[in-house]
Structure 1
């Protein structure tokens, strides 16, 4: 009978959350170069302490994700080592277990609600059942985010304990759960409001993109998933701003992430 780890590895490969993923190699290499040039759109809230050059980033991403370290490998799809994903999920779960044992407050947010909302909502439910306050600061607050279409105003909202941003007037629905963003501005707004509120600041921030890097840059313990074309979380982990970055494809079907939620909650002894 397969172990939970074996079953998870098989699921990661079958759904292409890891293994040969859909992320184009060309896009990853382009984003590594943009990060080396300190493009804010790729830094997503991180302010690297060191001068990361393209070669440094390629070696780091090969080490942390399992992508090819050969700079001459310029086409096709990226490969994420499922063993690295599982090791990172174990570390992720261990951090959840410690926070739950202390019944400490947490803040959870995503820039990928179309894909990852269910993953985070399951974590929020498990942590809440364990006695942790799942914070919801600055609900409804406006956030001005620069996009490729110019500056747009979004509203900060929470769904099942998970923060996301919506366009003004947008209503929650299964087809439009929130907007996709890499910006660190939502987490900055949420943390500023938390500092002024009665519930206080979170002991842990769980999220992706700008939520992960933005919180880590501000000195909060932060953990979350990251794709192979997003070097910022892995640089943040290497430099100590991010506690855990889990390498995985963050664009597959939302229901494919349910076994990851179950695995993490079981390991953290938070299953409901």
Structure 2
């Protein structure tokens, strides 16, 4: 079993926590856009109240441990590994409950190039424990606004993990899926469940629009978020998102696998 000390060392070495690749400039830009209620930063969340830029910085500093000084406007961000570990422990406890209850679970990612393997390991373990891993609305079209305009994507599931594929993937093949912050994929999946009369997920595990979109619709939602994505942390503070794990979401895909092993060990779901 991986120890907490070993995982902490990995978080720092891989720059998942500690000094991370996200910059303060990126974070402050995101906070400005979120405060202006730009849909690109709300990613499916409808905040209960107005959040100013300084409030968002204070919130992310509290949840993630980034420097709280408003005067600091440049340089790399830093995530407190202790906060990441505490959130992973809580994440493990929730997975253990899902396995004990045999809850249906829905997993989805807007970061398939980075996080697909992490979620797939969780899906495999939850399925082995008796949970139904849902694949709702597979193949359904999802029109997502991108920087290139409106593009039609298709909802797909790889090893039990929801993602979207764009037209280019159909031509060339082999891509793990498209990067998106949109909540439309999870809305499409949950609408299909409603049309069919269920089953509905007892737990959503995901990031970006999957996390915030499901939480906004009243589904219990847990997952990771980077410090330049304030929406999940606002959702957690307001109660629509159940749990957020602070970490850098842009490192190598293999570097997330020790986190999956750590969580599954503590949930007693290791295979």
Settle same-fold status: TM greater than 0.5.
Answer: yes
3-state SS in 2 of match to 1:10: helix
Q: Residue 103 of structure 1 aligns with which residue?
A: 102
Residues 22-171 of structure 1 mapped to structure 2, 5 A cutoff: 22-168=21-167, 170-171=169-170
Structure 1 gaps of 5+ residues are none
Deviation at 1:185, TM superposition (A): 0.2
1:138-176: CA deviation from partner (whole Å, max 9, x where unpaired): 000000001111111000000000000001362599962
Q: Give the 4+ runs in structure 1 shifted more than 3 A.
A: 171-175
Determine if contact 1:137/1:193 at 8 Å carries over to the other structure: yes
Q: Is the 8 A contact 1:135 1:199 kept in 2?
A: no
Residues in 1 aligned to 2:66 and 2:171: alpha-carbon distance in whole angstroms: 37
Measured after TM superposition, the shift of residue 196 of structure 1 is 2.8
TM-score under structure 2 length normalisation: 0.97
Cα deviation, 1:88-133, whole Å, max 9, x if unaligned, reads 1111111111111000100000000000000000000000000000
3-state SS, counterpart of residue 144 of structure 1: strand
Alpha-carbon separation, structure 1, partners of 2:244 and 2:172: 29
Cα deviation per residue 1:16-64 (whole Å; 9 max; x = unaligned)?
0000000011010110111111111000000000211111111000000
Q: How far has the Cα of 1:198 moved from its partner?
A: 6.4
Residues 8 and 81, structure 2, Cα contact 8 Å, conserved in 1: yes
Whole-Å separation in 1 of the counterparts to 2:174 and 2:137: 24
**Partner in structure 2 of residue 225 of structure 1:** 224
Residue matched to 1:259: 258
Change (3 A) 1:174 1:62: farther
Find the residue that maps to 1:205 and give its secondary structure.
strand
Q: Distance in 2 between matches of 1:125 and 1:3?
A: 19
1:186 aligns with 185
**By how many angstroms is 1:197 displaced?**
3.1
Structure 1 residue 4 corresponds to structure 2 residue 9 = no
Task: Judge which range, 2-11 or 221-230, deviates more.
Answer: 2-11
Per-residue CA deviations over 1:235-267 (Å, capped at 9, x if unaligned) read 000000001000000010000011000000011
d(CA) in 2 for partners of 1:198, 1:30: 41
Q: Distance in 2 between matches of 1:136 and 1:3?
A: 31
Q: Distance in 2 between matches of 1:250 and 1:169?
A: 24
CA 1:102–1:145: 2 relative to 1, 3 Å? same
Distance 1:199 1:49, change over 3 A: closer
Give distance in 2, aligned partners of 1:174 and 1:263.
32
* CA-CA distance at 1:199 after TM superposition: 5.1
